Amino acid sequence: MKNMSVGDVYPTFLHMSSAFPKNAYQQSDLYETFGKQMYGDIAALERIIRRVRVKRRYLALDPREVLTRKVGLGERMSIFEREVLEVGGRSVEAVLSKMDRKTIGSFVMASSTGYIAPTPDLLLSRQHGLPITVRRTFVGNMACNAGMNALNVALDSLSARPDERVLLNCTEFSSLHVRPEESTREQLVVHALFADGSASTVLGMAPPGLGPQVLAFHSMSIYEGAPHMTWGLVDEGFRMTLSSAVPDLIGEHVGLLIGALTEKAGVRTRDIKHWAVHPGGPKIVEVIGQKFSLSDSQLRASWHILEEYGNCSSPTVYLVLEDMITKDKPQPGEYGVMLAFGPGLTMEGALLRF
């Protein structure tokens, strides 16, 4: 990220909002039905699902439906188009309603769980009255870290045009890709972990006091981790692989990421009080907590989002940040960090000042 500060004026999260599909599902109910029917031959099924720590998820497609009929790729993409405009639209409208939407110069959107053209950012721009001159960037195929990549694009936009406002949205529907496939522990964890949701934010250059300021951004790719997290197309939808090696790889390298962020911002790691960690899975949150000796309160928001909403892929780190701001109420001048991880293996982070 370029040096975009003018005095104490930095890229700032001015407004945030989130939205979810209308139907919420208790993990215990899904375990008794979908879980037992699909994965009943796996030893310690209940313990594995409990270890994931997800209690409730919002889903656009009831996973039990794929056990009773074939849900083809075309139908899944039709649901994606409908839901991205409805759920993503609620999230977008919530932030746009707080401002003059004519001030939006750029719109960056991330989504990796569906494919339509025109892309959803154009459809949402039309639906919510954005200027016809808005510059649009669509970030796809990056999965869980796509939201942070979208932030990087937004920061570049503000660097080039500091007088504009940037709309950022992440909307995902992982439930569209549940399939009655091989009964493996890996796919059990994937289907017990992921969920659907949308998060939106408007960023602009602002002084302290108007929202969290982004002081630094850093990306890292762990090339040897590329085979350990994948997202590929199969006949009935997309298929994710998620190796148990991922948390250890993150733990091994995340110190370099935090070190780079703190060096860029001129702060120390021990100065970071608030940790918005993308809960890609419980082991990732645990590894980050152990690595930096974080307290339960510092990881509260990450655990809360994982338990009550699941891993919603790219929006999740924004859900954690929104929950942190609302409930933990960081004090002015305190430092925080946003961390997300995705295929590649990619790690991205932003250092914040509240």
Q: Is 68 exposed, middle or buried (0-12, 13-18, 19+ CB in 10 A)?
A: exposed
In a domain, 196, yes or no: yes
Q: Which of 184, 206, 228 is the last residue of a domain?
A: 206
E runs forming strands in the chain = 10-19, 24-26, 56-58, 104-110, 135-139, 165-173, 196-206, 213-221, 229-234, 237-242, 272-277, 335-342, 346-353
Q: Are residues 88 and 140 in the same domain?
A: yes
Which residue has tokens 């590894």?
287
Contact 113, 172 (CB under 8 A): yes
How many Cα neighbours within 13 Å face the side chain of 9? 10
Quickly list H helices, 171-293. 185-193, 246-265, 282-291
3-class secondary-structure state, position 347: strand
Q: Are residues 246 and 262 in the same domain?
A: yes
This prediction has a pTM of 0.95
Burial (CB count within 10 angstroms: exposed 0-12, middle 13-18, buried 19+), residue 132: exposed
Boundary residue ending a domain (174, 190, 206): 206
Q: Which of 153, 187, 206 is the last residue of a domain?
A: 206
Q: CA 277 to CA 338: how far, in whole Å?
A: 6
pLDDT number for residue 5: 60
CB distance 339 to 318 below 8 Å = no
Provide the strand spans (E) within 88-212. Answer: 104-110, 135-139, 165-173, 196-206
pLDDT tens per residue, range 308-334 = 999 999 999 999 999 999 999 999 999
If asked whether residues 23 and 153 sit together in one domain, one would say yes
* Model pLDDT, residue 179: 84
Check whether residue 171 and residue 219 sit in a common domain. no
- Contacts of 231 by beta carbon, 8 Å cutoff, 6+ apart: 112, 141, 143, 238, 239, 240, 343
Residue 317 lies in a domain: yes
In this prediction, residue 182 carries a pLDDT of: 66
Are 97 and 147 members of one domain? Answer: yes
Whether 336 maps to a domain, the answer reads yes
* pLDDT value of residue 3: 54
Question: How many domains does the chain contain in total?
Answer: 2
Strand positions, DSSP E, 207-246:
213-221, 229-234, 237-242
Q: Is residue 1 part of a domain?
A: no
Do residue 166 and residue 252 come from a single domain? Answer: no
How high is the pLDDT of residue 341? 95
Query: Is the domain of 149 the same as that of 201?
Result: yes
Q: Is residue 80 part of a domain?
A: yes
Predicted confidence (pLDDT) per residue in 185-237, tens digit: 888 888 899 999 999 999 999 999 999 999 999 999 999 988 888 888 887 77
pLDDT < 50 stretches in the chain: 1-2
Same-domain pairing of 186 and 315:
no
Question: Does residue 276 share a domain with residue 261?
Answer: yes
Q: Judge if 186 and 218 occupy the same domain.
A: no
For residue 106, is it within any domain?
yes
Q: How far apart are CA 272 and CA 270, in angstroms?
A: 5
- Same domain, residue pair 187 and 261: no
Angle at the Cα of 82 from the Cα atoms of 77 and 84, rounded to 5 degrees: 90
* Cα gap 156→57, rounded to integer Å: 34
Give pLDDT, residue 221: 94
Tell me, yes or no, whether 149 and 221 share the same domain: no
Asked if residues 276 and 340 have their Cβ atoms less than 8 Å apart, the reply is no
264 in any annotated domain = yes
Domain that holds residue 184: 10-206
Selection from 326, 302, 175 nearest residue 237 by Cα: 175
Check which CATH number belongs to the domain holding 262 and give it.
3.40.47.10
Residue 4 lies in a domain: no
What confidence score (pLDDT) does residue 186 get?
84
